[in-house]
Structure 1
Amino acid sequence: MEYTEISGTDIKVSRIGLGTQPIGYFDKDLGMQTIRKALDQGINLMDTAPVYGDGRSEEILGQAMKDYDRGEIIVSSKTGMEKVQGKGVRNTSPELMARTIEASLKRLGTDYIDIFHVHWPDMLQPAEETAGFLKGLKEEGKIRAIGLSNYSSEQMYEFCMHAEVNVCQPPYNVFERAVEVGVLPFCQKNDITLMAYRSLCQGLLTGKMNADADFKDHPVKSSDPKFQLPRYRQYLEAVSSIDALVREDHDRNVLDLAIQWILGHNNTVALWGGWKPEHMEPVNDVFGWKPDPETRDKVRDIVKKTIHNPVGPGFLEPPTR
């Protein structure tokens, strides 16, 4: 495992973090085993949020953490979302954020959260007020670092005028590369750690999915256009071609390439989602190499030639209250 420090802090994190969103929707015991397996693999970063299974992900993580020294685990969670008629809605009002952090602390069984993100930018709330609230939490010792999830570079710039931002958490993977134009350069220029989610694109980039899979009951894939025909087959073809390329040129596989696509940049962390302990088995196999510029160009060419109607992660965006 490789480790890095979160910008502007003394928080040392594994460069691969466990994304616990799926744990909030599947078997509790398997989720507990997955967290323990991740820790055994050297992963000390656990990313969660109140909306993952309506708090269930945080509860399971909190229960698992009872068996460990709290200082050994870096907890990353979020605020700024509420459920309205069963749907997630952006809300970074101080009142809502005050309620959500107290609820998160209780579910997690801790008195502080290491990295606390605004889950989505709220266009109805002044950035100055949101930043001021998080600064206050940091001064109280309830959080150790401030993160912004799903923010554009322009939105981060405005937020940074009012508070120090330590982490940015955008969707980023081989198929969803919009951050390479704005967000990633902004983070590099301003010394902000980039913590990528959807690193494996909901499992597409593991190379283990097949054309006959049924996703109608999956909490995320069911609404992701990538997993709907005929587009799904195009993505599978791209995965197969990328896998063949990196096997021939580097004796690696598509999963290795997917994670190193992110870790090949300085000051980055990749979140690896999983809800079964076996999902964590390949974690340490991805280290020991980096894709060179020529390989990256070849991968981009494969994606461009194979996927005729690509889509980004826009389907994830929640409405404004």
Structure 2
Amino acid sequence: MQYRKLGKTGESISAIGLGCMGMSYAYGNAQDFNEQESLATLELALELGINLWDTADMYGQGANEILLSKILATKRDKVFLATKFGFRFREDNTTYFDGSPKYLKQACEASLKRLKVDVIDLYYSHRIDDTVPVEETVGAMAELVKEGKVRYLGLSEASAASIKKAHAVHPIAALQTEYSLFTRDVENDILATTRELGISLVAYSPLGRGIATGAISSPDVLSDGDFRKGLPRFQQENFQQNLQTVTALETFAKEKGITLAQLSLAWLLAQGDDVVPIPGTKRRKYLQENAAAVEVNFSKADMAAIENVLRNNTVAGERYTEGGMKMVNR
């Protein structure tokens, strides 16, 4: 494994992290989650040198943090632990966002308890609350740093303006946002802002929620409990158009002797040393495949060829539903 610096903190994090959400949430029903395999995947991650683990309190309503605690109990010193707060569940299981100082302090205490740790390495606001000034949210997060409960602060899906406001209150170490061959809006003003301020960009869904692996031939193969079935990009007509991009990229990947997932991750790694993808997986075989992407090096001609494929194939559909899109880039 190769390592990259987290913002200006001096901390070394694995160039490819591990998104843990799918082990407990979103991509299936209860029967699709195999705790034994997930724990084995977490153990293997450490063997492969993957030390950046990403979770959130909303994943399985705390279940994902509890899952990680079973490994952290004996391996805490080997993990750079990131979690998030802000999404709250109503009685009907719908969610809303709460970035208030009062709630985030409660959320932090609850996460510490579930994770069974004394301190969280990287604590993110999962979104920006449009009813609470970001300065107030980050100011309260900074108090957690002073109290020794959190080491570094992060934001997720924040606009350039919000990042600047937040960073003026307390240094932001990382911005987590969706970034992949299929989602590149971050390349506009957001990436320029994080680079100006020395903030790492942690790329979630770097494999396009599975599209950029070539493993999903149709939305019909997804289980009924998989939230991707409701996303615009996975609707039949959009999906068929997006498969054209997949097919073109797969041809290039085969010529290079790598998988499409490895191409997707290596392309992200090549965007700069400040970019750290966190592909999610709950299976060891995919973890090994993802980790090997650090060994893939692209020439300028390779990058130009990939860019040409992307230019000639338009991505169809937004990455979230209309309601979800209102919560990003705020």
TM-score normalised over the length of structure 1? 0.92
Q: Distance in 2 between matches of 1:28 and 1:220?
A: 20
| Cross-structure match for 2:245 | 238
* Residue 47 in structure 1 maps to residue 54 in structure 2: yes
| Cross-structure match for 1:28 | 35
Partner amino acid for 2:13?
V
Partner amino acid for 1:78?
K
Partner amino acid for 1:256?
Q
Q: Distance in 1 between matches of 2:68 and 2:241?
A: 36
* Residue 257 in structure 1 maps to residue 270 in structure 2: no
Q: Which moved more, 1:106-115 or 1:32-41?
A: 32-41
| Cross-structure match for 2:99 | 92
Q: Distance in 2 between matches of 1:147 and 1:259?
A: 22
* Residue 3 in structure 1 maps to residue 3 in structure 2: yes
Q: Can you list the C-alpha shifts for 1:133-189, whole angstroms capped at 9, x where unaligned?
A: 111111111111100001011211121121111100000000100001121121112
Q: Distance in 2 between matches of 1:285 and 1:156?
A: 32
Q: Distance in 1 between matches of 2:172 and 2:246?
A: 35
Tell me how far 1:67 sits from its aligned partner: 3.1
* Residue 270 in structure 1 maps to residue 277 in structure 2: yes
| Cross-structure match for 1:204 | 211
| Cross-structure match for 2:78 | 72
Listed as ranges, the gaps of 5+ residues in structure 1 are none
Q: Does the aligned pair in 1 maintain the 2:58–2:85 contact within 8 Å?
A: no
Partner amino acid for 1:117?
Y
Q: Distance in 1 between matches of 2:312 and 2:304?
A: 12
Q: Distance in 2 between matches of 1:300 and 1:269?
A: 20
Of the candidates 227, 233, 237, which is equivalent to residue 226 of structure 1?
A: 233
| Cross-structure match for 2:28 | none
* Residue 149 in structure 1 maps to residue 150 in structure 2: no
SS at match of 2:41: helix
* RMSD, matched Cα: 2.0
| Cross-structure match for 1:19 | 19
| Cross-structure match for 1:105 | 112
Q: Can you list the C-alpha shifts for 1:264-312, whole angstroms capped at 9, x where unaligned?
A: 1121211010112222121332123333444334334323433463433
| Cross-structure match for 2:175 | 168
SS at match of 1:49: coil
SS at match of 1:66: helix
Q: Distance in 2 between matches of 1:50 and 1:287?
A: 29
| Cross-structure match for 2:298 | 291
Residue identity (%): 26
Q: Can you list the C-alpha shifts for 1:97-145, whole angstroms capped at 9, x where unaligned?
A: 0111111001101011000000000111012211111111111111111
Tell me how far 1:246 sits from its aligned partner: 3.4
Q: Distance in 2 between matches of 1:49 and 1:253?
A: 29
**How many residue pairs get matched?**
318
Q: Which has the higher helix share?
A: 2
Partner amino acid for 2:86?
G
Q: 1:283 to 1:312 in 2, by over 3 A?
A: closer
Q: Which moved more, 1:269-278 or 1:283-292?
A: 283-292
Q: 1:159 to 1:199 in 2, by over 3 A?
A: same
Q: 1:141 to 1:317 in 2, by over 3 A?
A: farther
TM-score normalised over the length of structure 2? 0.90
Listed as ranges, the gaps of 5+ residues in structure 2 are 26-32
Tell me how far 1:214 sits from its aligned partner: 2.6
